[in-house]
Amino acid sequence: MRVLYYLDTLGRGGAEMQALDVCRNGGRIGLETTIVAGGGGSLEDEFADAGVEYIRLQRKFPVDLYLASQLRKIIKERNIELVHGYQAVDGVHLYLASRGLKNIKRVLSFQGFIQDKRNRVASRFLIPRMDANISVSRGLSKWLNEVDKLDTAKNFTVIYNGADPKRLQPTGRSIKAELGLGREALLFGMVANFYRDPRKDQLTLCRSLPKVFADVPNSHCIFAGGIEQGAEDKMADCLNFCIENGLTDRVHFAGARSDVPDILSELDVFVFSSLHEGLPVAVSEAMLAGVPMIVSEIDPLLEATDGGDLAETFPVKDAAILGKRLSALLRNEERRNDLAQKALSYAEANFSINAHLGELKKLYDSL
């Protein structure tokens, strides 16, 4: 099957990482892939080296008719059978590019809640015009329907995100050594960007740290992730809390990183404090890397952890309970190992790239 994936940009977000893993592995299920980008980003070199055709365009306007015409030309010249986007702006341009072309199937993935009114309006327009819409979790489908008022009852399918275990192999570089920590130090933290919209909740983890550090003297916390434009105050709030509470010698803000597998390989606990999610690739990666987790009690994260059986959980924004449960987990190596092993087995069956491609092939074939 000849498939074209269009991504507006190529940053290190969950949608881009998912698309990259599909491009690298899609040949195993018979996909002849063309990837088209409407802009650059930190993953551009990796897409260019993914072993599929890569074409770089440049979107200049919110709805760029010239870009849509370029996409249409690519679709026709390569006899593309199916087009697939990962957010509303992708879907708009793919719809315009493929409109009126016979036998072209359109697929749009929903990775998380809709950020603003413009994207909600675009999504409402696109959903009935797609041959299939993908939600990455049942919890997200419920949110899209009840909060964003989108019709998810008809042509929606749940397909979990899946990470490529090969991409998660560490290189041997030590994040503990980089931070000046001994091998005996316990390291926990979040791998997540700071976003301007209410999505990730790094501040609740910061507020739990006085309790954790008092209970576990040899522990350190790391925040690995970039800062989206407009989210600078969220990062500043976290930093100011740590400064005012004398925590800066044990809290490490590492910024955007390209060595996530190396970080995961040395984490003793992966923390995912969040307000809203689809089904984050970062959680799949942590499970496949064998890292025990503690996550917020929101539907998609409970779904990802089999009702919370595969991780410790805490109520949203409850720093006191997070601190208590995180401290207990750090002090209990046997519990950490048990959670990690169970989560790894579950993730291999449900959140690996093989599992994702299997479900994706079923959907594509049905179209």
Residues 30 and 174 in one domain: no
Residues 139 and 285 in one domain: no
Q: What is the pLDDT of residues 301-310, one digit of tens each?
A: 999 999 999 9
pLDDT category of residue 215 using cuts at 50, 70 and 90: very high
Residues 272 and 186 in one domain: yes
Residues 123 and 74 in one domain: yes
Residues 248 and 298 in one domain: yes
Secondary structure of the chain in HEC code, one letter for each residue? CEEEEEECCCCCCHHHHHHHHHHHHHHHHCCEEEEEECCCCCCHHHHHCCCCEEEECCCCCCCCHHHHHHHHHHHHHCCCCEEEECCHHHHHHHHHHHCCCCCCEEEEEECCCCCCHHHHHHHHHHHHHCCEEEECCHHHHHHHHHCCCCCCCCCEEECCCCECHHHHCCCCCCHHHHCCCCCCCEEEEEECCECCCCCECHHHHHHHHHHHHHHCCCEEEEEECCECCCCHHHHHHHHHHHHHCCCCCCEEEEECCCCHHHHHHHCCEEEECECCCCCCHHHHHHHHCCCCEEEECCHHHHHHCCCCCCCEEECCCCHHHHHHHHHHHHCCHHHHHHHHHHHHHHHHHHCEHHHHHHHHHHHHHHC
Domain of 62 in residue numbering reads as 2-164+352-366
Residues 294 and 184 in one domain: yes
Residues 174 and 157 in one domain: no
Q: What is the pLDDT of residues 177-196, one digit of tens each?
A: 999 999 999 999 999 999 99
Give percent of the chain with pLDDT exceeding 90. 95
Q: What is the pLDDT of residue 116?
A: 87
Q: What is the pLDDT of residue 114?
A: 87
- Over residues 351-358, the mean pLDDT reads 96
Residues 247 and 277 in one domain: yes
Residues 268 and 281 in one domain: yes
- Over residues 313-341, the mean pLDDT reads 98
Q: pTM for the complete prediction?
A: 0.90
Q: What is the pLDDT of residue 319?
A: 98
CATH number, domain at 105?
3.40.50.2000
Which position has the higher pLDDT, 279 or 213? 213
Residues 111 and 256 in one domain: no
Work out how many domains the chain is built from and give that number: 2
pLDDT category of residue 335 using cuts at 50, 70 and 90: very high
Q: What is the pLDDT of residue 81?
A: 98
- Over residues 146-170, the mean pLDDT reads 93
Residues 187 and 141 in one domain: no
Residues 360 and 333 in one domain: no
Instruction: Answer yes or no: is pLDDT of 115 > 80.
Output: no
Instruction: Answer yes or no: is pLDDT of 13 > 90.
Output: no
